[in-house]
Amino acid sequence: MITITDDNFSSLNEFLDRKSFSKIFILVDENTHEYCLPVLLGNMETDLAFEILEIEAGEEMKNIQTANQLWEILTEMQADRKALVINLGGGVITDMGGFVASTYKRGIQFINIPTTLLSMCDAAIGGKTGIDLMHYKNMVGTFTFPEHIFVYPEFLETLPFKELRSGFAEMLKHGLIADKIHWEHLIRMQKLDAQAIIPHIKTSMDIKQDVVRQDFHEKNIRKTLNFGHTIGHAVESLYLNQKNPVLHGEAVAMGMITEAYLSFAEGLISAEDCDLIIGNIQKYYPYLDISDFSDDDIFDLLLNDKKNAGNTILFSLLSGIGACIFDHECSRKSISESLTFYRKLNDA
Amino acid sequence: MITITDDNFSSLNEFLDRKSFSKIFILVDENTHEYCLPVLLGNMETDLAFEILEIEAGEEMKNIQTANQLWEILTEMQADRKALVINLGGGVITDMGGFVASTYKRGIQFINIPTTLLSMCDAAIGGKTGIDLMHYKNMVGTFTFPEHIFVYPEFLETLPFKELRSGFAEMLKHGLIADKIHWEHLIRMQKLDAQAIIPHIKTSMDIKQDVVRQDFHEKNIRKTLNFGHTIGHAVESLYLNQKNPVLHGEAVAMGMITEAYLSFAEGLISAEDCDLIIGNIQKYYPYLDISDFSDDDIFDLLLNDKKNAGNTILFSLLSGIGACIFDHECSRKSISESLTFYRKLNDA
């Protein structure tokens, strides 16, 4: 399912050779068009015709209007049920391209070639597709696995540092929820760069895949992957709503700090573990200013979080470093305390 | 999965009692709001809160704009993953309501309560959801089974004759492709009304369900259900595009005539069977004027038919009364001949 293709996409070529597609549609944004598409096209060996579909980069594009344009273009180009969509990009491309493919003519095949660390370790794997609606992330989508995921780590060399650090937040999360040794490898890195990170990507992907394999539709253990994402998603949405988006990993880092604090406040982890976790996240990530948002702004979004039902707000919280529980209900009071704790970090 | 509920929805009440939904959203159009919703609400016994979502009636509404409005309303009303959507209506409601539910928060549960003969015998069963795109029918959608289908035959009593006749075309089709005895029962009816049709609904639904069960994703035998729908869909789309929609069954009747002729021209059925089929369809359905559409208009649509790949046009054709083959390629010449044959029927 996932192939790490450090040998110039030979496995992709074998895949294209083995399957009988009618045509290829490669979805890119202007960045992956410039930096990644030449690499892909330089290595791809196939007689199939292909078209390039380019969208503007950015989470703001991950909406129903863009999806609709893509459906219309596929229709105009007479893409049939044997067409293949190749999503070449970060999470916006793989989420949206997956949604468009999984619903066009009730589903055509697609593969993901993630180009960012975030999409390699998170968005491109796991079979969640989606678009944002109003100011809610991934409100509309499907559970559909790509036919295959080809990971070409060399793409990370061209990635800006902030993007790399954004993806690294998901790796830290994978360590925190499931694998203490992975976490320890990650926090002991001397320098946060592609060369240091690449050796650890496979472990991080395996953690996610293993969880997804156990619970595709997120009825139980898959919810642990939401650690850091409950408050993190809300803050990310609020920033997006202000037309001032932050990177996903920056919001998740903030979410992991507040939710580690919640884990401590709920008596699930020790003060020492909590300090250690928060200290290491702060080592990598700058403080994210949330002074524009009230607790109520955040509650409103938490209540519409996909994993919540009724008026309760459920969290995935740490029960140790490398262990996580889910469906833990927190009161508004505790959540407010964790936000107050976070606001004070700025004064420290 | 399907329950015929001639006992005032007791099976629906048991279903609602057994499951733990958070809230109910009932999707209706103005017709089912007026004629069917009072019956449903008068019989539904539940403590759950519910909301009515009403859309305008008509195939023109089955588009991405309406779907988007429904997603937004569900979001604003904070529908969570345990919410239930009840699609109360004909094919537009069950197709679109199913699509919206199957993608909202990556899928919430829905049930179908078909109110037309067409939706009872076709749209509401089979797990295909979808919306139209540009002038193509069901271009975007998912394969998702409803949790349950409740069929309340009494609804047919309020249905206009033309709507009843429209649905009856699917019943004739089920007989033609799979069950000669069913076909013979249907063509021997003295009068086309609800009381005459109701005893045969179950057989027709069973034929469809049986085919769907064998091949949910339409890789093989399910394609036989497309008999009459290749040319029929194209003509239906052309009429819709002219803002002059015809009923689905009227287009399918026209499609079954041309495709029965094609089956004969391709040497698959005898001239006698062909005459018998066409004569019985003409007995029920008025001639559908296609003089505004050129063969090329129709070819353009056939090439983008979901079941076609590349430049070939594939048909499901009869190989007898009660027998059907699929993936049969027809040349443009044969298709033109069948259209010429149809045009001449008007002169006869």
Q: Write down the pLDDT at residue A305.
A: 77
H or E stretch including A63?
Answer: none
Closest chain B CA to residue A21: B309
Of A75, A141, A217, the CB nearest to B139: A75
Does residue A248 have an active-site annotation? yes
Interface of B with A (CB under 8 A): 22, 64, 68, 71-72, 75, 78, 80-82, 102-107, 128-130, 133-134, 136, 138-143, 217, 303-304, 306-310
Which residue in B96, B103, B233, B308 has the most chain A C-beta atoms within 10 A of its own C-beta, making it the best mutation to test that interface? B103
pLDDT for A297 beyond 80: yes
Choice among B18, B106, B217, B243 that is catalytic: B106
Residue of B133, B136, B306 lying closest to A81 (CB–CB): B306
Closest CA to B99 of A102, A35, A212: A102
Measure CB to CB from residue A141 to each of B75, B106, B307 and give the nearest one.
B106
* Distance, CA of A144 to CA of B106 (rounded, Å): 10
Contacts of A128 in chain B (CB under 8 A): 106
Residue B104: CA count within 13 A, CB half-sphere: 30
Crossing angle for the helix pair A271-284 and A161-178, nearest 10 degrees?
A: 160
Q: Per the structure block, which two tokens stand in for B78?
A: 């904070």
Cβ–Cβ below 8 Å for A304 and B78: yes
* Count of other CB atoms within 10 angstroms of residue A279: 11
* Number of alpha carbons in the 13 Å side-chain half-sphere of residue B229: 23
A106 is catalytic: yes
- Using pLDDT thresholds of 50, 70 and 90, give the confidence band for residue A247: very high
Chains A, B: CB contacts within 8 A come to: 95
Cβ neighbours of A104 in B, within 8 Å:
139-140
Strand partners, B25: B51, B85
Question: Is B229 tagged catalytic?
Answer: yes
Give chain A's length: 348
Q: How far apart are CA B308 and CA B316, in angstroms?
A: 11
The mean pLDDT of chain A is 94
Closest CB to A310 among B22, B128, B130: B22
Q: Has residue A348 got a pLDDT over 70?
A: no
Question: pLDDT confidence of A4, banded at 50, 70, 90?
Answer: confident
pLDDT of residue B305: 76
The total of other beta-carbon atoms located within 10 Å of residue B275's CB is 12
Q: Which residues of A touch B (CB under 8 A)?
A: 22, 64, 68, 71-72, 75, 78, 80-82, 102-107, 128-130, 133-134, 136, 138-143, 217, 303-304, 306-310
**What are the chain A neighbours of B142 within 8 Å (beta carbons)?**
102-103, 106-107, 142
CA-wise closest residue to A136 among A31, A233, A280: A233
10-residue mean pLDDT series, chain B (348 residues): 81 93 97 95 94 94 97 95 96 97 97 96 94 90 96 92 96 98 96 95 95 94 96 93 91 98 98 97 95 94 78 94 97 96 88
Smallest CA–CA distance, residue B140 to chain A, in Å, is 5
Active-site annotation holds for A208: yes
CA pair distance B230, B210, nearest whole angstrom: 22
Res. A5: pLDDT tops 90: no
Catalytic residue among A31, A87, A138, A226: A226
pLDDT the model gives residue B222: 96
Tokens linked to B293: 């559409």
Q: Is the pLDDT of residue A252 over 90?
A: yes
Q: Has residue A37 got a pLDDT over 80? A: yes
Query: pLDDT (tens digit, 9 = 90+) per residue, A124-177?
Result: 999 999 999 987 889 999 999 999 999 999 999 989 999 999 999 999 999 999
What Å distances lie between residue B301 and A75, A106, A194, B232, B288, CA to CA? 11, 17, 49, 11, 18
Q: Which long-range contacts (CB under 8 A, 24 or more apart) does A310-316 make?
A: A310/B22, A310/B80, A310/B82, A313/A230, A314/A230, A315/A226, A315/A230, A315/A259, A315/A262, A316/A177, A316/A223, A316/A224, A316/A225, A316/A226, A316/A227, A316/A229, A316/A230, A316/A259
Both tokens of A242, joined, read: 């202000």
- d(CA B35, CA B20) in angstroms, rounded, equals 28
Catalytic residue among A137, A165, A182, A222: A222
Task: Give the model confidence (pLDDT) of A194-233 as tens digits.
Answer: 999 999 999 999 999 999 999 999 999 999 999 999 999 9
Q: Is A72 exposed, middle or buried (0-12, 13-18, 19+ CB in 10 A)?
A: middle
Catalytic member of B31, B163, B182, B218: B218
Backbone angles phi, psi at A149, to 5 degrees: -125, 125
Q: What domains are defined for chain B? A: 2-158 (3.40.50.1970), 161-345 (1.20.1090.10)
Spatial CB neighbours of A221, under 8 Å, sequence gap ≥ 6: A211, A214, A215, A326
Q: How far is CA A52 from the centre of its chain?
A: 24
Q: Give yes or no for a contact between A214 and A193, defined as CB atoms under 8 angstroms apart.
A: no
A44 pLDDT tier (thresholds 50, 70, 90): very high
CA distance B345 to B258: 11
CB burial of residue A259 (10 Å; 0-12, 13-18, 19+): buried
Alpha carbon separation from B178 to A16, A86, B121, B165 (Å, rounded): 38, 39, 14, 20
Minimal Cα–Cα distance from A328 to chain B, Å? 17
Contacts of B133 in chain A (CB under 8 A): 68, 71-72, 75
Strand partners, B67: none
pLDDT at position B137 is 84
Residue A308's pLDDT band (cuts 50, 70, 90): confident
DSSP B129-182: --EEETTEEEEE--B---SEEEE-GGGGGGS-HHHHHHHHHHHHHHHHHH-HHH
Residue A233 annotated in active site:
yes
pLDDT digits (tens, 9 = 90+) for A77-132: 999 999 999 999 999 999 999 999 999 999 999 999 999 999 999 989 999 999 99
Q: What is the mean pLDDT of residues A25-51?
A: 95
